[in-house]
Chains A and B, each alone.
Chain A
C-alpha cells in the first residue's frame, strides 16, 4: 500500500482490529525495519529528520518516573540539561493543567490523565511527525470526547503532522483532514478520503448530515470484514 502525508496534516487511519494499523505506525516510527518497500521523508528513504514520536495505546508512561520526569524524558534524550528540561516540562505541564500532579507517579492518575501526560510528552519533543496509536482506545466515551477536543486544540496550536490510528469511525472523522480506511489480511487501503467538514470541529459536528453520511459510508466499507472476523452472518 502507498500513501503520502503532507506537513501539518491530520491523517486518521481507521480499520478493524488486526489489520496492521499499529505495525504501520511502528514502521513509520522506525521501531521495525520494513521487509519490503520504504518510508520516505522529504523524498529520502528512512531519513527521519527529527524522528517521529509515538504515543502508545496505554502503558506508555514509565511507572518509575514522576509525571514531570516522564514529560522531561523527551528532552532528556535530546541531551537537554536537567535544570532546563525540568523547567520547560513544568511550563508544558502547566499548559495541560497538570501542574499539581507534576511530582506524582503515573499509577495514581486515571487512564485519561495518563494519556494526556503521554500526549504532552510527545508534543514537547517538538518532533515534526506525531504518531498516535489509539490513544483513547481504553477510555470511557465521555473522557474520550473531551480528550479528542483537547487534542484538536493542541494540534491547531502546534500544527504538526499527525497520524492517528483508531478503530472509532466517528473519531477519525472528527479529528482528521483525511481518513484512510484500512482493511486487513493483507493490510491494504480501501479508500483515501478527504473530510470536508469545516474546522473548528466540536461535539456538534457529529450531528451534521455530511458527517453522518461519511460515517455510514466508512461503516459500509468495513462492515463485511468485521462480520467475518466475528463470524456474524448478515
Chain B
C-alpha cells in the first residue's frame, strides 16, 4: 500500500471530494458546449444563464411567492395524508384484526395512479384548493400507511413478549416497543411520501393552478421562456433534495441505536 500513496489517499477520500468535482466537471462541459455553439442555446441554455435567471427571479420575489404556494400545499397534504397514514399504519401493524380488515383495501387502492383520480376529485370537491390538497394527501397517505405497518410488523416478536412479561400495559407497549421499533421504517415512509407528494403537487399545479412552481413551469412553456422553465425544474429538484437531506439528518438523530444508514 505504501508504494502507492496516491492510490491510498484516493481510497480514503471522503465521498464528497469525488462527488463535487464530478458534478462541477459535468456542468463545465455543458457550459463549454453551449458557449461553443455545440448545443442549441434555445433548448439548452448554459448553466450560467439559468443561474443568472434564478438569481434574478429570486430577487424580484416572484420565485419565493410560487415556492411558498407549492411548499404549503405539500406540507398540508403531508400533514393530513401522512398523519392519517401514520396512525392507521401503526394500528394496522399492531392489530391483526384491523390489518385483516383494511389491508386488502389498501392493497387494492394503492396501485391506482393518483393523478388519474384528479378529475373525479374535482367533480366531488370542486376546482378549488380542497381538491388539490386532497389529491396530495392521497399521494402521501399510501406510502405512509404501508411503511408504518411494515415497520411495526418487522419488530421481532420477542420484544412484545419481554414487554408483556414485565407487565407492560397496551399504552406502554405502544410507547416503548411499537413506536421506537417502527421509527426507521416510518422515517423511510415519510421520505417516500414526501417525494410522491411533491411529484403530485407539481403535477396538480401543471394541470389546474395559476400559482405554484408547477404553474410557473407551465406558464414558462406557454410563453416559451425556456430559462424560466429550467429554473422551475431546478427549484423543484432542489426542494426534493432539501427534504431528503432533512430526512437523513433526522434519521441519524432519531435512530441512534442503528447507525447503518450513515453512509
Contact = CB atoms under 8 A, between A and B. Distances in A.
B166 A31 contact: no
Contact of B162 (A60, A76, A78, A106): A60
Interface residues of B, number: 21
B47 interface: no
B166 A62 contact: no
Contacts of A62: 159, 162, 176-177, 180
A56 to B, nearest CB: 5
Name the prevailing secondary structure of the B interface residues.
helix
Contacts of B181: 64
Nearest to A131: B165
Interface string A90-125: 000000000000000111000000000000000001
Contact of A64 (B158, B162, B165, B180): B180
Contacts of A74: 166
A73 interface: yes
A140 B238 CA distance: 52
Contacts of B257: 63-65, 105-107
Contacts of B172: 77
A36 B112 CA distance: 50
B164 interface: yes
B258 A107 contact: yes
Contact of A105 (B164, B165, B256): B256
B177 A53 contact: no
B162 A56 contact: yes
Nearest to B164: A31
A78 B156 CA distance: 23
B161 A56 contact: yes
Contact of A60 (B158, B180, B256): B158
Nearest to B160: A31
A54 interface: yes
Contacts of A60: 158, 162
Given A51-B167, A77-B167, A77-B172, A63 B258 contact: yes
A29 B166 contact: no
Nearest to A52: B165
Q: Which 9 A-B pairs have the closest CB atoms?
A: A64-B180, A105-B257, A77-B166, A59-B158, A77-B167, A63-B257, A64-B257, A54-B165, A77-B168
Given A51-B167, A54-B165, A125-B166, 7 more contacts: A30-B165, A56-B162, A64-B183, A64-B257, A65-B257, A77-B167, A77-B172
